[in-house]
Amino acid sequence: MICKAASYSMMGNAITASGEEGTFTQEGPITVFAADDDAFGDFIKTKGVSKMDFVKMDGLSDIVKNHVVKGTVTKADMAAGKEFETLAGNKVVVADLPFKKNDIKVDNATIHAIKTVIV
């Protein structure tokens, strides 16, 4: 999955540290909004924590689950203003996210590479 790619290692670390691997390997379809390392770096700076402290943060599981939506969401589904509920139970207007790449297909998911952390 994209989270194993070099520029997505912080998201992969967050998934592992939060114990949410099953969220990403479950039978799909799911949609993953994968935040890159630059996005996590910016997020960590705003929180004033180190990378080591980040993976121990309270609420890390919800941060990770905010990047996953049940079902398939493609770029074509992202009409302006349309909300999707994340597995953390929050609503996200995904059309507002800064994207790097859309509609990456893997076995159980559609992945969208993004340049922000969804909180």
> In terms of residue numbers, what domain contains 49?
2-114
The CATH number of the domain where 33 resides is what? 2.30.180.10
Specify if 62 maps to a domain. Answer: yes
pTM: 0.92
Q: What are phi and psi of 102, to 5 degrees?
A: -120, 160
Tokens at residue 48, please? 């004033």
How many independent structural domains does the chain possess?
1
Asked if 26 contacts 78 with a C-beta cutoff of 8 angstroms, the reply is no
In a domain, residue 119? The reply is no
CB 35: neighbour CB atoms within 10 A? 27
Q: What is the pLDDT of residues 65-83, one digit of tens each?
A: 999 999 999 999 988 788 9
* pLDDT tens digits, 50-69: 888 999 999 999 999 999 99
Residue 62 confidence (pLDDT): 97
Taking 70 as the pLDDT cut, the residues of the chain under it are: 1-6
Q: Which amino acid is at 101?
A: K
